[in-house]
Structure 1
Amino acid sequence: MKVALVTGASAGIGEATALALKDAGYTVYGAARRVERMAGLAERGVKVLAMDVTDDASMVAGIERIIEESGRIDVLVNNAGYGSYGAFEDVPLSEGKYQFEVNLFGLARLVQLTTPQMRAQGSGKIVNISSIGGKIYEPLGGWYHSTKFAVEGLSDSLRLELKPFGIDVVVVEPGAIKTEWGGIAIENLMKTSGDTAYAPQAKALAKFFDQAARGSHPKVIADVIVKAVRARRPKTRYAAGFGAKPILFVRRVLPDRAFDALFLGALRRFA
């Protein structure tokens, strides 16, 4: 039986993906910091791991356990991440660094830890959960978008690097999804810039996020991930969820200034 590891499995896309892969016949390990929040997954037969993607020891221990128990890793779904928003001037550099630790370096370290096993067995699928935010941008989202742009670039390089070893690297770019992400982003945004010179932008963007939170169910993304890992020759990228494809299409065809004007015009509706 093929073995999958899903990070950020305590809620949202990660939880839905762990269940979808289990239903598809995989042995699934769900990883998150808060093991108690994965009790429902354990009841469904998912093996749960305590893992913090900013803690190297916990990642090493998690991969060692999987290899010891199952002897292989066929699928890595790098889903752990969060949205940290606020005016660039207002966000402490320490928070910017932490955003990269969670959204990029944790992902990168797990790729390093799983690649030797996949390379030895001559096969594997690495699915990196990016975002449409890896292709577009917003005011007050400089750190978050930087991390997702970085995930896109890293994934492209890895795709070429690992192809000779039978390892596929896939990027999934969700649009608006009903998860905790929006609430966390709004909380960070208002805490950081709700009372600064950027307060008008922060309040408008918070309202915008509140609307976007009424997006697609996480299972939409989970189903795309299952499709990608079961495909003999998966696409390099999958965009899914509310608004993802039309937004990326508009970004692709519009010059920067036109996209700037379109986004700022939409944001003014929430001012």
Structure 2
Amino acid sequence: MTSSSLAPVLVTGCSSGIGRATAELLLKAGHTVYATARRPEVLAHLESAGARVLALDVTSEESMSTAVKAVEDEHGRVGALVNNAGYGEYGTIEETDLDKVRQMFETNVFGLARLTQLVLPAMRAARSGRIVNIGSMGGRLTWPVGGYYHATKYAVEAISDALRNEVRPFGISVSLVEPGLIRTGFEETALTSEAHAGTDGSPYAGLLATSASITTGGYSNPMLASGPEAVAKVVLKAVESRSPRSRYVVTAAARAAITARTVGGDRVWDAIVRNQFGSH
């Protein structure tokens, strides 16, 4: 698969982390890359590296439509779409502010879905295209305090599975990337939302404190966490492969956790959770 045959690649959420690393690697591989973020001024480093820079807010219909039109006006279609934009709002099911949950779904699920809808007509007409959705191992298993975030990633799993079979007859492939712990600043957002969810006198105070400690320890452990470059390499494979896989799990620890959840069932998984979190 040549880089020109999938030109251009549109990547969301490029201001930092996985999106930034992915845009950088795609550029090095010779792809025409449209790097996007809500505030395009933060993408100066990518622009200087050769990326086309666009403003794109995946919670805004106007912003998404304008960005896709800009690419299609110049190239006729988006060759590959990398749906990366997303974040984690963490807290217990009982205490988390549902308005914040709705905002997270707008970014992690509905933004991904709508942007996909916008690029598909031109891809179908060309009978060619790639869609790469950045999910999470959190779409295959669930930890306490992360239920609502996990729900967004389970939704991405379902959307990707349905879409893959819907668009295959049109020559379009869909791949889902499922990273484990990736050091991107994601954990800082998660810890902040946990802190906001836990109030003095909360019946979940112990659980929230334990969760914060596990999160900090996990992301600081080189045996469990990797840098965003590991995900970028997998995205490049999904974009360039002649026969891209439907799923790519990133990090050995993520593969082990998914296997434990899938093979062990609820009893094994609940035992793992109790071992991690104790009685809080």
Contact 1:194 1:203 in 2 (8 A): no
Match of 2:79 in 1: 74
**5+ residue gaps, structure 1:** none
Match of 2:22 in 1: 17
Instruction: State the secondary structure of the residue aligned to 2:59.
Output: coil
- Cα 1:246–1:194 change in 2 (3 A) is farther
Contact 2:129 2:171 in 1 (8 A): yes
1:267 is displaced (CA, Å) by: 2.6
1:65 is displaced (CA, Å) by: 0.6
Match of 1:145 among 146, 150, 161: 150
Match of 1:246 in 2: 256
- Tell me, in whole angstroms, the C-alpha distance in 1 between the residues paired with 2:59 and 2:275: 38
TM-score normalised by structure 1 residue count: 0.96
Instruction: State the secondary structure of the residue aligned to 1:255.
Output: helix
Match of 1:134 in 2: 139
1:34 is displaced (CA, Å) by: 2.3
What code does the residue aligned with 1:15 have?
R
Instruction: Give the share of equivalent positions with the same residue, in percent.
Output: 44
Match of 1:213 among 188, 211, 219: 219
1:242 is displaced (CA, Å) by: 5.4
Match of 2:276 in 1: 266
- Tell me, in whole angstroms, the C-alpha distance in 2 between the residues paired with 1:219 and 1:66: 26
What code does the residue aligned with 1:87 have?
T
- Tell me, in whole angstroms, the C-alpha distance in 2 between the residues paired with 1:61 and 1:28: 17
Contact 2:77 2:119 in 1 (8 A): no
Matched, 1:154 2:154: no
- Tell me, in whole angstroms, the C-alpha distance in 2 between the residues paired with 1:42 and 1:133: 32
Kindly provide the CA deviation profile for residues 34-86 of structure 1, in whole angstroms up to 9, marking residues without a partner as x.
Answer: 22221111110111111111011000000011111233211100000001101
Match of 2:236 in 1: 226
Q: Which moved more, 1:56-65 or 1:136-145?
A: 136-145
Match of 2:210 among 192, 199, 204: 204
1:123 is displaced (CA, Å) by: 0.6
Contact 1:194 1:202 in 2 (8 A): no
Contact 1:179 1:213 in 2 (8 A): no
Superposition misfits of 4+ residues, deviation over 6 angstroms? none
**5+ residue gaps, structure 2:** none
Contact 1:134 1:151 in 2 (8 A): yes
Equivalences for residues 38-187 of structure 1 within 5 A: 38-187=43-192
- Tell me, in whole angstroms, the C-alpha distance in 2 between the residues paired with 1:252 and 1:179: 27
For the aligned residue pairs, the C-alpha RMSD in angstroms reads 1.3
- Cα 1:194–1:176 change in 2 (3 A) is farther
- Tell me, in whole angstroms, the C-alpha distance in 1 between the residues paired with 2:253 and 2:39: 31
Instruction: State the secondary structure of the residue aligned to 1:254.
Output: helix
Instruction: State the secondary structure of the residue aligned to 1:213.
Output: helix
Kindly provide the CA deviation profile for residues 171-216 of structure 1, in whole angstroms up to 9, marking residues without a partner as x.
Answer: 0000011111000001001111253221111111111111222320
- Tell me, in whole angstroms, the C-alpha distance in 2 between the residues paired with 1:70 and 1:213: 40
- Tell me, in whole angstroms, the C-alpha distance in 2 between the residues paired with 1:231 and 1:206: 38
- Tell me, in whole angstroms, the C-alpha distance in 2 between the residues paired with 1:67 and 1:84: 33
How many matched pairs?
270
- Tell me, in whole angstroms, the C-alpha distance in 2 between the residues paired with 1:190 and 1:264: 22
Instruction: State the secondary structure of the residue aligned to 2:181.
Output: coil
What code does the residue aligned with 2:226 have?
S
1:95 is displaced (CA, Å) by: 1.3
Contact 1:177 1:242 in 2 (8 A): no
